[in-house]
Structure 1
Amino acid sequence: MSSPVVAASPRRRSSSGAESAPTTPAAAAASRRRFYHDAATQLGSGSVPLSSPYDFEISKLFAPALVAGLLEPVQMTAESICVGRLGVPQLGALGLGTVLFQFAVGFFAPLIIGTTPRVAAAHVESRHLASKATAQGMWVALLTGAALQAAVWAKTPDIVAYMSGSDVAVASFAVLYLRARSWGLPAALVMMVAIGAARGVKDLNIPLLGSLAYLIGLVAFDVLLLFGPPAMGMEGAGYAASAAQWVGAATVVALLARKQIFDVRDMASLPGPADVSPYARMTAPLAVNNLSALLPTLVATSLATGLGVTHLGAHTILRQLMGFWLQLFLAFNATAHSLVANNLSRRAEGRAAEVLARLAQLAVALSIPVAAALFLGRGLLPDLFTEDVLVRHEVADVLPLLLLIMPLDALGTVLEGGILGASDTGYLGARTAASCGISLVVLVLSFFLHGSLLSVWIGMKAINVTALALDLARFLRQPEPEGAAKQAGAPAAPAAKERQE
């Protein structure tokens, strides 16, 4: 139990002299406002240096985050190759089952977002406290994962029947796959907590090694259970994915233990209501955020389907192309989340703002040559996917729009990482819901006015542009922190000193 003196103080100082995270909601909100104000000042400076004191720290996190992101399509491709040998209905069932599994897991993103600042703040005090915070998150993941597994097992036939329509073969295979894969749900949530803990201590090599372990386990178990003596078919594919999920979870937990950020002995006590409440508070707004972000894509895909098979084929190719460069920006997002949360846990708002501004500069600067190169090759890129002339023309017509706004996507993804690092999830959910509404209006109006695939993508990308505008307003409208005018003439010692630590 905290002493009255500590409880009344908006911040604490560790034995090493570093200031830790705010201890009251009011102090946390004030810290966030200072961060937003300082970040807006940095972003509006217009200065883009060729190098920065933060570049090395950023590169250490960005590189493993990018590789881990690129492993995701590799994992999907490897599983598709194995299951595809069973037949076309099985491949369709894999696609349906994977989407439903990812949707179930994605609903619990608060496990990452909530763990990161808690472990970062605890790590300022000691590794033991960081381990206790991680252990509390592990318990939440295991208990929630067990309940989720039971729900998915019970409801899978009804959900699959609704999603698959009249295709009985696909539905039956999807039920087998998803029920078998549901046994990996607790492990998937444990991995999310581990990712949050790793971000809290600025170590993104741990999620990367966990993803590698998952990939190796997936291929090995697929080969064994699909083609080995068991020959279990789609049910084997689901069990293979579940087993690989546990291999990945065991890997990241072992790596956290090696880094002394997790001690299994801290699992001896269950988390209390105060330990669970940060996750509970974030669940609703992040669920709204995820669902709102998905809805325009679902509506756009439905409209593209109505245009005909040529337009749907081009739409699918464009989504796959965008998926590759999206991983680049998601690596910046993960880096921003980790560094901002870590610095705010130390009450280093100025340093957090400088890091975010540098990440934004790097992301936008990198997006411009990438967009230019893809624009020059826009006539050749569709050839990688299809020989259909009409589909290739459709892709080449829409691609310039996506490349034109790529720098905006880069900036928006970095700012979102900063917002997540500041644990501003209430705003994030409201912002994405508002952006979703505007996107749907633009989507419907543009489609019915022009009825082309280009109009569909204009509506789809409206959510990104709107979200970016709202995020910029969120940063820019913060009032100047109290006492900032007095400090304006003082030397900027804190950020410089923090860069040397």
Structure 2
Amino acid sequence: MVIVGRRATMRAPDDVDRQILRIAVPAFAALVTEPLMVLTDTAVVGRLGTTSLAGLAAAGAVLGTVVGLCVFLAYGTTAVVARNAGGGRPDRAAAAAVGGVWLAAGLGVLLGAGIAISAGPVGRALASSPASADAAREYLVVSSLGLPSMLVMLATTGALRGLMDLRTPVVVAVVSNLLNAALSVFLVHGVGWGLAGAAAGTVVAQTVGAVWLVVVVAGHARRHGAGLAPRAADVLDAALRGVPLLVRTGALRAALLIAVAVAATFGDAPLAAHQIAVGLVTLLAFALDALAIAGQTLTGRSLGAGDVVGTRALTRRMMAWGAGFGGAAGLLLLASAPFVARLFTTDPAVLDAAVPAIVAIAVIQPLSGVVFVLDGVLIGAGDGAYLAWAGLLTLAVYAPLAVGVGWAGGGLTWLWVAYGGFILARLLTLVVRERDGRWAVTGA
């Protein structure tokens, strides 16, 4: 049942499912843009030799962390734009979108400058040799020019999701990836620019994508009477919304870094196996994050329209989706664990460490599905402050578990069992919040 104001209507489950898929499928396609660009650069740079590839790995770790922490630009913008659009305030939705874009551009310039200035020391800290450190510095300096465009793409994609324009981000993602692939091959091997050519190709592709998306968002803004000039109030509002989401994301990133640090104490083979496991978890996270984005968008629009009962029903339906998809992914991973590991390595020691870790990951997946969905629902509701505190709490639970596994020499499988404890702690904090209902604040 859905209540809008005092009027109640019924919404069929099939209609809800279609809405979820309508958002989740294109969201998944847009989510893989940046990883595909990274894979393209990896394939192109790999032919330059081990030194260049090692430099790319070090530089990619830096850029991936920065962009990952800035994902609040997409999530926060989706939530506030969807809420205002659902509340019948398209002018405020458009103004919020413009504010988010200006915040992304400004933040991109500052972070890009910081990366360019610190590229040398950072490269030396992360690289495995002086030669690869020089390669990492070269890639970071050029890539820093594209960081404003990358962050603007996050904000504009989030805004368009809130406005239910789901087609444009996918089209832009496809074109950007094709352009990146063509330019990288041409600049690296045709012109002979080497690693800098790969970075330059990505920068151009990101810039084209950002300009395209900005033009579309600007068109929405003009149609609804919102100005395109930066307004301090809107930019500040976008920044304040982002702070708790930044804390929440930072806690998640810290948990991953702790796991890498502990896995490194077990030796080369377990660390290599851990990298395989992380890659599989990341792949599954893209699909689950698509469901979370559907939760963000639909929750924001529903609460903006004053529909609390419908929002709670939608949340329960999406929890079922998360559990179902997570369960299916877990069963598939469980059945294919020995074969999946062999796609990445033939080293018997790495395989012995990877297979049981993958089994542990498979068991976690149904819980992970519900966690991703509830996380998205609460982001869509604007409940960032709770998510920040919950993130810090779950990190406090996980850190001693992971460190304890390392201290006891428990091995990689037990480290991933500890990660299951992290997911369980997240689930408990999210379910408690979902049940108390205080996040379901209505209105634009």
What TM-score do the two structures reach when normalised by structure 2? Answer: 0.90
1-side partners of 2:280 and 2:72: how far apart? 28
- In the superposition, relative to structure 1, how do residues 221 and 358 fare at CA in structure 2: closer, same or farther (>3 Å)? same
Residue of 363, 386, 389 corresponding to 2:348: 389
Q: Is the 8 A contact 1:311 1:391 kept in 2?
A: yes
Q: Partner of 1:146 in structure 2?
A: 109
- In the superposition, relative to structure 1, how do residues 295 and 393 fare at CA in structure 2: closer, same or farther (>3 Å)? same
- SS of the residue aligned with 2:345? coil
Range with greater deviation from structure 2 (130-139 or 298-307)? 130-139
Residue of 231, 249, 257 corresponding to 2:210: 249
Range with greater deviation from structure 2 (155-164 or 59-68)? 155-164
- State the AA in 1 paired with 2:322: A
Q: Partner of 2:324 in structure 1?
A: 365
Q: Partner of 1:132 in structure 2?
A: 95
- In the superposition, relative to structure 1, how do residues 107 and 320 fare at CA in structure 2: closer, same or farther (>3 Å)? closer
Residue of 403, 411, 420 corresponding to 1:452: 411
Q: Which runs of 5+ in 2 are unaligned?
A: 6-10
Pair 1:187 & 2:146 matched: no
Q: Partner of 2:300 in structure 1?
A: 341
2-side partners of 1:388 and 1:268: how far apart? 56
Q: Partner of 1:315 in structure 2?
A: 274
Q: Is the 8 A contact 1:139 1:267 kept in 2?
A: no
- In the superposition, relative to structure 1, how do residues 479 and 82 fare at CA in structure 2: closer, same or farther (>3 Å)? closer
Q: CA deviation at 1:176?
A: 1.1
Residue of 31, 52, 72 corresponding to 2:14: 52
Q: CA deviation at 1:251?
A: 2.8
2-side partners of 1:183 and 1:145: how far apart? 9
Q: Partner of 1:422 in structure 2?
A: 381
Q: Is the 8 A contact 2:98 2:228 kept in 1?
A: no
Q: Is the 8 A contact 2:96 2:238 kept in 1?
A: no
- SS of the residue aligned with 2:338? coil
Q: Is the 8 A contact 1:447 1:455 kept in 2?
A: no
- State the AA in 2 paired with 1:410: G
- State the AA in 1 paired with 2:104: A
2-side partners of 1:286 and 1:457: how far apart? 25
Q: Partner of 1:178 in structure 2?
A: 140
Q: CA deviation at 1:248?
A: 1.4
Residue of 148, 161, 170 corresponding to 1:199: 161
Q: Partner of 2:184 in structure 1?
A: 222
Q: CA deviation at 1:286?
A: 2.3
Q: Partner of 1:118 in structure 2?
A: 80
Q: Partner of 2:8 in structure 1?
A: none
2-side partners of 1:244 and 1:481: how far apart? 39
Q: Which runs of 5+ in 1 are unaligned?
A: 1-17, 20-48, 483-501
1-side partners of 2:183 and 2:271: how far apart? 34
Q: CA deviation at 1:477?
A: 3.3
Range with greater deviation from structure 2 (108-117 or 89-98)? 108-117
- In the superposition, relative to structure 1, how do residues 313 and 131 fare at CA in structure 2: closer, same or farther (>3 Å)? same
- In the superposition, relative to structure 1, how do residues 154 and 361 fare at CA in structure 2: closer, same or farther (>3 Å)? same
1-side partners of 2:228 and 2:274: how far apart? 51
- For residues 261-313 of structure 1, the C-alpha deviation after alignment (integer angstroms, 9 at most, x for no partner) is 566995553212x2123222233322222221112222221222221222112
Q: CA deviation at 1:139?
A: 2.2
Pair 1:234 & 2:195 matched: yes
2-side partners of 1:145 and 1:70: how far apart? 20
Q: CA deviation at 1:195?
A: 1.5
1-side partners of 2:58 and 2:257: how far apart? 14
Q: Is the 8 A contact 1:432 1:467 kept in 2?
A: yes
Q: Is the 8 A contact 2:276 2:341 kept in 1?
A: yes
Q: CA deviation at 1:241?
A: 1.3
Q: Partner of 1:486 in structure 2?
A: none
Q: CA deviation at 1:449?
A: 3.0
Residue of 24, 39, 64 corresponding to 1:77: 39
2-side partners of 1:303 and 1:480: how far apart? 36
Q: Partner of 2:127 in structure 1?
A: 164
- Residue identity over aligned pairs, in percent, reads 25
- In the superposition, relative to structure 1, how do residues 257 and 446 fare at CA in structure 2: closer, same or farther (>3 Å)? same
Pair 1:471 & 2:430 matched: yes
Residue of 305, 309, 325 corresponding to 1:350: 309
Higher CA-based Rg:
1
2-side partners of 1:81 and 1:104: how far apart? 22
- SS of the residue aligned with 1:378? helix
Q: Is the 8 A contact 1:314 1:392 kept in 2?
A: yes
Q: Is the 8 A contact 2:83 2:301 kept in 1?
A: yes
Q: CA deviation at 1:61?
A: 0.8
Aligned residues: 432
Range with greater deviation from structure 2 (116-125 or 344-353)? 116-125
CA RMSD of aligned residues (A): 2.6
What TM-score do the two structures reach when normalised by structure 1? Answer: 0.80
2-side partners of 1:375 and 1:481: how far apart? 37
